[in-house]
Amino acid sequence: MVNDSDKVLGFDYGLARIGVAVGDVQTRIVQPLTTLACGKGGPEWRRIEALLQTWLPCRVVVGKPGDASPPELLHALNRFVSGLRRRFDGPVETADEAWTSDDAYRLLKQRRISGGARIRKEEIDKTAAALILENWLSQIEAADGAT
């Protein structure tokens, strides 16, 4: 599945839901895609595999919370990353996701029209995945500029 694509998929992993976003390494444009269910049975691997086949990313980026996060979340996240590495031939990286869900909520709240619908958790999750990708892209851009 390794290819010459400039697409990158980003995941905001959670015990109940996983936000997904897609970004482009060249244009630095990122957009939220979807939110997948994640529960006791684990992630929706068939849908994740379908996303990998549809977007053919050059790599995958998974948001990683700080070490102060609950151990069950960190353990489940590590299993998720391992599962992605088994299913995807390209690089799977983790990136700091500190405060992305809070930032996503604030961003969505600012965009919401007065009196609009309540902000759904699914919107927060996929927007958080987009923020994870935006942060990751800005870090690689900064690293490219430093060389």
pLDDT band, very low/low/confident/very high, at 6 (cuts 50, 70, 90): very high
Q: What is the mean pLDDT of residues 20-29?
A: 94
Q: What is the pLDDT of residues 100-121, one digit of tens each?
A: 666 666 665 666 655 566 777 8
Specify the pLDDT at position 101: 63
Contact in structure between 98 and 65 (CB atoms under 8 Å): yes
Distance CA 46, CA 30 (A): 23
What pTM, to 2 d.p., does this model score?
0.82
CATH code given to domain 7-146: 3.30.420.140
Label residue 94 by pLDDT band (50, 70, 90): very high
**Within 10 Å of residue 131's Cβ, how many Cβ atoms?**
24
Helix (H, G, I), strand (E, B) or coil at 3: coil
Angle at alpha carbon of residue 65, lines to 147 and 126, rounded to 5°: 90
Could you please report the per-residue DSSP string of 24-80? ETTT--EEEEEEEEEETTEE-HHHHHHHHHHH--SEEEEEE--TTS-HHHHHHHHHH
The residue ranges of every structural domain in the chain are 7-146
Q: What is the pLDDT of residue 111?
A: 62
Region of residue 2 (phi > 0: left; psi between -120 and 50: alpha; otherwise: beta): beta
Mean residue pLDDT of the chain comes to 85
Residue written as tokens 């942060």? 135
Q: Tell me, what's the pLDDT at 104?
A: 61
H or E element: which one contains 19? strand 17-24
